[in-house]
Amino acid sequence: MTTRPVLFDSPFLLGFDQTRALIDRAAKAAAESYPPYNVEQLGESAVRISLAVAGFAPDDLAITLEGRQLTIAGKREPAPDQAFLHRGIAARGFVRSFVLADGLEVEGAQLEHGLLHVDLKRPEQAQTVRRIPISIG
């Protein structure tokens, strides 16, 4: 049995306990292979995730955001009167997850020509410096 090195055990990285769990979730999500997807940089603060979901209708797809985990799921039910002589097109369902960085927001989703596009954006934030008062004890 091998042990993984602990990445966030430095005393300078306080409060990063959840980061280890996020890295584990991201590694698990990266191991999934269906459906194929692209992640595209659109400008300075926008990202687009595109999944190949040919054959899925908007009602067959669900996009949820729980905390920082974006989950895209697809489930297709064949019509009961379909009879296949050969079935070479996959009709299986899928669940694909992405862990989003802090501040990244889902702008919207669009199904176009068999591709599901999910647009993400990081709003511009002004850098603020906050002065911490020192009390006399």
In CATH, what number is assigned to the domain containing residue 61?
2.60.40.790
For residue 120, which amino acid is it? L
| pTM of the predicted model as reported, rounded to 2 decimal places | 0.67
Q: Residue 23: pLDDT above 70?
A: no
The residue range of the domain holding 112 is 36-78+90-121
Residue 88 pLDDT class (50, 70, 90 cuts)? confident
Q: How many domains does the chain have?
A: 1
- Does a structural domain hold residue 41? yes
CB 6 within 8 Å of CB 18 = no
- Does a structural domain hold residue 15? no
Average pLDDT over the chain reads 83
Q: Residue 34: pLDDT above 90?
A: no
- Does a structural domain hold residue 52? yes
CB 98 within 8 Å of CB 49 = yes
State the Cα–Cα distance between residues 54 and 57, nearest whole angstrom: 8
- Does a structural domain hold residue 106? yes
